[in-house]
Structure 1
Amino acid sequence: MFVLTSSQMREIDRKASQEIGIPEVVLMENAGFCVFEEIRKDFETLDDKNIAVFCGKGNNGGDGFVVARYLAQVCPNVKVFLFDENVTLISKVFLDILKRLEVDVSILSEELLLSLKTQRFDIIVDAIFGIGLSKDIDGLYKKAIEYINGSGAYVYSVDIPSGICSDSASVRGCAVKANKTVTFVYPKIGNILYPGSYYCGKVIVKDIGIPEKIIKDIKVKILTAEDLDISKFYRFPDSHKGDYGKVGIVAGSKYYPGAAVLCSNAAVQSGCGLCYLITPQEALYFQNLRKPEIVVLPLEGKEGVISFDGFVKFDEYLAKFDVLGFGCGLTKNEEVEKILIHILENFQIPIVIDADGLNTLSSSQKAKKLLANYKSQKVLTPHYMEAARILGVDVKDVAKSPIDAATKIASEFRAICVLKGSRTIITDGDEVFINVLGNPGMAKGGSGDVLTGIILSMIAQGYSAFEAAKLSVYLHSLSADILLEKKAMQTILPSDIIEGLDSAIRRLIEG
C-alpha cells in the first residue's frame, strides 16, 4: 500500500478533476459519505446520540459538512460548529445545503466553546484541518482541540487528526486525539509515522472513486507480505550447507559480549549455512549462550576489545565469506576504525554495518569516502541517534523527517539504509518501505543485533541487500508480534525474538 505526501494527494485530486473530469464536489461527497459509513458501522443506532461536527474553513471542513448532512438524516441531535463562514467555494456548496435543511450550524466563539462544557456529546467529528496544515495551532483552534480531547466523546478525524503535519507526522502545537481516522485513497505519512499514528487511533483507508491509473510515481509504501520475496525459503532435497551461504561477523568485546552472541545466533537461526564469529578472546566468557553451530574465531584483543593486529590474521577467512557483518558490541576506538578501513580497502564482499561500526563511520572521513566508493552491496542499520551522527545533525531533525534522513544516508553511501525505530524505514535512496509491524516489547538492548544477524543470513542465502533488508525487518517484527500473543510486552527479550523466527517464517510461508 502506498503512502502519500500532502502534495501528492493534491496532485491526485487535481488529476481526478481536471484530467479525468470527476468534479471536486463528487470527491468531497464521496469522502464525507465514507466517514458517515464508518460511524454508522461502529454504532448500532445513532438516533439517540448527541453528535458534534467541528468544521474548518478549508476542504476538510467541506468533508465535515457532508458527514453532518448524512448524520442529520438518521440522528436528530447533530450540531455543526464552524470556525469561519468564509469557506472554500466547494465547501460552500455543502454548507448551503446544511442551512437549507435547517441543520443546527453555529459559528464557534470562545463563549460558545465554554458553554459546550456543560453539554455531553457521544460522538465528535474532527474536520477542522486536513493535510494542508502548515503552521502551529493556537487561539480558538487550540482551545477547540483541547475541548475535543477532554470531551470523553468517541472522536473521528477526517483524513488526519487536526494538528498533525501530514508530511512529517509531527504535532503542530496540539492535535486531536482521535479514536479512529478515516483517510482517503491511501494513508498519508502523518497517519503512519509517530507521533501522528498515535493521534490517529485506528486508521481506515477509504476509496472515494479516484481511478488507480492516475496514481503514479509514488515511492513510499507500507511494507507488507506481498512486497517480500520468499522464493529462496524453498530448499531442494539434495542441497547442502554451502548452498545457504557463509556469514562472517566481526563483533563483541569484553564489555558487550552479548551483542556478538545475539547477532550470530540470529544469523544461524534464520537459515544461513555457516556462521563464523570473529570476536576478541576476552569476550569468550559469555559464549556459553552461543549456539554450538557457530564457528568462533577468537582473536587477540587489546584491553578487551578487538585489535587490528589480531584481526588481519583472519584475512583469509574474509575472502571466503558471502557477507560480512561489522560493528555489534565492538566499542568505538582507533582499532575499530583501522579495521573498518582495512576491510573497505581490501575486500569487496557484501557488508552490513551496525552499532559501533556506524559510530566509527560517523567520525571517520576516510571510512565514509571508502564506503561511498565500495563496490559491493552495503546495508547500514542506524537508529535515530546513529543516523544523526552520520548526517551531522541533531537527533530531533532525524525524528522530524526520518524518511528524508534514511534516504540521505542511502544516497550518500549508495547503500541500503534501515533506519530503526517504532516505524522502521528501509530504503535504497529511491524506493521507501515503512514497517508497521512490531511492538514496544522490542525496545530492549540487543534487538538491533538480532536484526543485523537476520539481514546477514538473508544476504548469505542469495537475497539482494534491499530484499534481505525488507524481509529481515518484517520477520524480526513479526516474530515479536507473535510472541505478544503469549507474552507480556515487558517480558519479550531479543533472544526470544530469535527463537520466535521459526513461527514467523512459518506464518509468512503459509500466508
Structure 2
Amino acid sequence: MEVLTPKEMGQADRLAEQAGRSLWHLMQAAGGSVAREALARFPDRRSVAVLCGPGNNGGDGYVAARLLRESGLAVDVWRSAEPKPGSDAARAADAWKGAVGALADFTPQADMLVIDALFGAGLARDLDGAEREAVERVKAAGSVVLAVDLPSGVSGSSGEVMGEALQADCTVTFFRPKPGHLLYPGRALCGEVVVADIGIPAGVLADIEPQLWANEPAQWRHALPRPKNIAHKYQRGHVAVFSGKMSATGAARLSADAAARAGAGAVTVLSPPDAMAALATHLTATMLHRFDAPEDVLAFIKERKVHAAVCGPGFGTGEKQKAVVETLMHESDVPLVIDADAITVLSQDLDCFLAVRNSGEPTLVLTPHEGEFGRLFPDLAENKTLSKVERARLAAARAKAVVIYKGADTVIAASDGRAAINTNGTVWLATAGSGDVLAGLVAALLGQGMPPFEAACAAVWIHGQAGQREGFGLTAEDLPQAARKVLAELISR
C-alpha cells in the first residue's frame, strides 16, 4: 500500500475533486466512516464527545457527530474555534443542530467516547492553548479515544509528537496511510489504524507518483528468486561471508546460515588464519576458505564467482579489517552488504570510501541501527527537522546505496528516492545476532539476482515475520530456519 505525505494527500483531494468527487462529498464520506467505526467498536459508550478543530478535520467531526446523534447516541460537540466562513467545515457545522461548547470548558469522563477531530495529518505546529489543555485532560481522565485521521499532536510527516498528543484506541484515516501512522512514536499513539475508502479514485495515484510504501510482499513478491529446474548450486548464488577472529566467529556463522536458508546455492565463510579451526568445528553445509590479505579476497571473489558478500558481523575494526573493507569498496564490484563492524570501519573515513565506490556504482547495502546511522551520517542524524524516512532517503542518495535504517520502524531507502516503512517488526527481534541474520538474508537474495531495493525490503519483512512466529524466547539461532519457512511459503504461492 502506498503511503502519502500530508502534502500528497492534499493533492489526492484536489485530483478527486477534478474527477467529480467534491470536497463536501469526501467530508460526508469521511465523517460517515468515523461514525461507523464508533458504533461498531464502542457500542457500550452511550456518551460521545466530539472535539472539533477549525479545519476540515473538524468538519469530519461535525458530520460524525450528526450521524451518531441520528443513531440515538448522546453526543456533545466542543470546538476550539469556528470554521472559516464559507468553507466545507462551516457547512458541516451548520448541519449540526445540537449545541456547541467551548473546548476550554470540556470535562472528559472515563466512561465516554472522545472523538478527536481537532487536527489531522497536516498539523504544522506544536499543540498549545485550549487544544493542548484539552488533550491533557482527556489523557488524565482515561477516556476511550477515536482519532480522525491522526491523534491530534502527531505529525503526519514524521510521527513525532508536536508538544503533546493523544493516545488513541483507534484511528480512522482516509484513502491511504500517512508516514505518521507507521513511524514511531506516532505508530504507537494511533492504536489500531483503519484506512477508510471515501471515494477517492485510486487512479489519482498515477498523477501523484508516490515513492513511499508500507513494506508488504505485494511490493516485491514478483521479484523473489525462483531457481530453474536445471540450475546448479553456483547458478543459485554464491554468497561470501567474512569472519572475524577466533573468539568472534558466531556472528559470521549466523549470517552464513541465514544466507543458506534463504536459498543461496553456495555459501563460503572467509576466515582469518586463527579462526579456521573454530569455524571448521561448527560449519557443515557451509564452505570455509582462509584469507591472509586483501589480495586473497579479490582472488577468491573472482575465481569462485561470488555473487554477493557480507562484511561486518563479528569482523573487527583494526587495520587489517579496514584494509579488507577498503578493498571490497574500492576494487570489487560484487554486491556488498555492509553491517556491524564494517559500518564502524566505514564511518572512520566515509567520504573516501564512498567517493571511490560511487564511481562505478556497484550494489551496496548499508544496514545501520540508530547509533551506527549517527556515526555514518552525523549531520542527518542530528537534524531534528527530518523524519526517519527523509534521513534514510538522503543517506541513500549520498552513499548511492540502499540503506536499511533499522529499528522498530525500519525504513528501507534507495538512492533514487524510493522508500518503504516496515510494519511487522517485533520486540522479540531485539536480541543479539538478529542483525547478523538480516545481513545474510539480504545477501542471499542479492546473490540470487533480486534487485537491491526489493531484496532489502523482502529480507526485512521476512526477518520480521520470522521473529513474530518464533515469539518469546527466540534467539538469533532460531531465525534462519524460521526465515526459511516464511520464504518457502512466499515462493510456493
TM range (shorter): over 0.9
SS at match of 2:379: coil
The corresponding residue for 2:171 is 181
User: What residue in structure 1 maps to residue 308 of structure 2?
Assistant: 323
Mapped contact 1:344–1:374 kept (Cα < 8 A): no
Match of 1:217 among 203, 209, 212: 209
Secondary structure at the aligned position of 1:348 is classed as coil
Aligned 8 A contact 2:51 2:116 in 1 = yes
* 2:406 corresponds to: 420
1:507 alignment partner AA: E
Structure 1 residues 290 and 460: alpha-carbon distance in aligned structure 2, compared to 1, 3 A threshold: farther
CA distance in 1, matches of 2:67, 2:142: 23
Which is further off, 52-61 or 465-474?
465-474
Distance in 2 of aligned mates of 1:138 and 1:231: 48
1:22-101 to 2 correspondences below 5 Å: 22-44=21-43, 49-87=46-84, 89-98=87-96, 101=97
Structure 2 distance, partners of 1:510, 1:147, is 52
The 1:83–1:265 alpha-carbon spacing in structure 2 relative to 1, beyond 3 Å, is same
Residues 132 and 326 from structure 1, CA distance in 2 versus in 1: closer, same or farther, beyond 3 angstroms? Answer: same
Q: Distance in 1 between matches of 2:246 and 2:72?
A: 69
Distance 2:249 2:23 in 1: 61
8 A contact 2:306–2:334 mirrored in 1: yes
Give the deviation of 1:381 after TM superposition.
Answer: 1.4
1:277 Cα deviation after fit:
1.0
Larger mean Cα displacement after TM superposition, 82-91 or 66-75: 82-91
The residue type paired with residue 256 of structure 1 is: A
Total equivalences in the alignment: 486
Which string of whole-angstrom CA distances, capped at 9 and with x for unpartnered residues, describes residues 406-434 of structure 1?
11122122222221111222222221122
Establish whether residue 471 from structure 1 lines up as the match of residue 458 from structure 2: yes
Amino acid at match of 2:125: K
1:61 CA displacement: 0.8
Per the TM alignment, residue 78 of structure 1 is displaced from its structure 2 partner at its CA by 0.9
Residue identity in the other structure for 1:25: W
1:257 offset after TM fit, Å? Answer: 2.5
Kindly state the Cα deviation for residue 241 of structure 1 after the two structures are TM-superposed. Answer: 1.3
Most deviating of 418-427 and 232-241: 232-241
Residue aligning to 2:356: 370
Identity of aligned residues (%): 30
Structure-2 separation of matches of 1:86 and 1:44: 30
SS at match of 1:176: coil
Aligned partner of 2:269 among 265, 270, 277: 277
Residues 1:108 and 2:103 are matched in the alignment: yes
Query: Does the CA contact (< 8 Å) of 1:425 and 1:432 recur in 2?
Result: yes
Report the CA distance between 1:500 and its aligned residue.
0.6
Kept after mapping to 2: 8 A contact 1:223/1:434: yes
- In structure 2, the partner of 1:200 is 190
Q: Is the 8 A contact 1:482 1:504 kept in 2?
A: no
Q: CA deviation at 1:181?
A: 0.3
Identify the residue that residue 297 of structure 1 maps to in structure 2: 289
Gaps of 5+ in 2: none
Q: Identify if the C-alpha distance between structure 1 residues 213 and 289 changes in structure 2 by more than 3 Å, giving closer, same or farther.
A: farther
| Counterpart residue type for residue 65 of structure 2 | A
Distance 1:483 1:123 in 2: 37
- For residues 464 and 301 of structure 2, the distance between their equivalents in structure 1, rounded to whole angstroms, comes to 30
Q: Render the CA deviation track for 1:425-479: whole Å, top value 9, x for unaligned.
A: 2222221122111201111221111111011111122222222212211211111
Task: Write out aligned runs for 1:214-253 (5 A).
Answer: 214-215=204-205, 216-229=208-221, 233-253=225-245
Q: Which residue of 1 aligns with 2:13?
A: 13
Counterpart of 1:313 (choices 285, 296, 320) is: 296
SS of alignment partner, residue 33 of structure 2: helix
Aligned-residue offset at 1:284: 5.0
User: CA deviation digits over 1:102-134, x for unaligned, max 9?
Assistant: x2321122xx24xx25x4543110001112211
**Relative contact order higher in (CA < 8 Å, ≥ 6 apart):** 2
Residue 143 in structure 1 maps to residue 133 in structure 2: yes
Moved more, 166-175 or 475-484: 475-484
SS of corresponding position for 2:371: helix
CA RMSD of aligned residues (A): 2.2
Residue segments in structure 1 that go unaligned for 5+ positions in a row: 301-309
Q: Following the alignment from structure 1 to structure 2, what is the Cα–Cα distance between the partners of residues 67 and 73? A: 10
Specify whether residues 228 and 389 from structure 1 end up closer, same or farther in structure 2 by C-alpha distance, changes over 3 A only. Answer: same
Q: Please, which moves more after superposition, 83-92 or 376-385?
A: 83-92
The answer for the alignment partner of 1:304 in structure 2 is none
If the length of structure 2 is used for normalisation, what is the TM-score?
Answer: 0.93
The 8 Å contact of residues 361 and 400 in structure 2, kept in 1 or not, is answered as no
| 2:280–2:288 contact (8 Å) kept in structure 1 | no
- Please give the alpha-carbon distance, in whole angstroms, between the structure 1 residues aligned to 2:12 and 2:281: 54
Find the counterpart in structure 2 of residue 344 from structure 1.
Answer: 329
Deviations 1:129-162 (A, max 9, x none): 1122111112322221112223233210000110
Q: Please identify, of 316-325 and 249-258, the stretch whose mean Cα deviation from structure 2 is larger.
A: 249-258
Q: 1:289 to 1:179 in 2, by over 3 A?
A: farther
Between stretches 334-343 and 34-43, larger displacement belongs to 334-343
CA positional deviation for 1:289: 7.8
- After alignment, is 242-251 or 284-293 more displaced? 284-293
- The equivalent of 1:306 in structure 2 is none
In 1, the alpha carbon distance for the partners of 2:369 and 2:360 equals 22
Is the CA contact 1:406–1:417 (under 8 Å) kept in the aligned structure 2? yes
In structure 2, do the counterparts of structure 1 residues 123 and 170 end up closer, same or farther at CA, with 3 Å as the change threshold?
A: same
In structure 2, distance between residues paired with 1:258 and 1:406: 29
Report the alpha carbon displacement of residue 224 of structure 1 after superposing the two structures with TM.
1.3
Task: Pick from 422, 425, 434 the counterpart of residue 435 of structure 1.
Answer: 422
Query: Is 2:426 aligned against 1:449?
Result: no
CA change 1:297–1:210 in 2 (3 A) is same
- Residue aligning to 1:305: none
Kindly provide the CA deviation profile for residues 267-288 of structure 1, in whole angstroms up to 9, marking residues without a partner as x. Answer: 1121111111113344457537
* TM-score normalised by the chain length of structure 1: 0.90
Matches of residues 118-133 of structure 1 in structure 2 within 5 Å? 119-133=109-123
For 1:170, which of 149, 154, 160 is the aligned residue? 160
Tell me, in whole angstroms, the C-alpha distance in 1 between the residues paired with 2:443 and 2:39: 49
Q: Partner of 1:379: helix, strand, or coil?
A: strand
Aligned equivalents of 1:349 and 1:370: distance in 2? 14
| Separation (CA, whole Å) in 2 of partners of 1:355 and 1:417 | 13
- CA distance in 2 between partners of 1:329 and 1:38 (Å): 50
1-side partners of 2:361 and 2:119: how far apart? Answer: 47
How big is the shift at 1:239? 3.1
> What's the secondary structure of 1:156's corresponding residue?
strand
Distance 1:431 1:394 in 2: 18
How far did 1:41 drift? Answer: 1.7
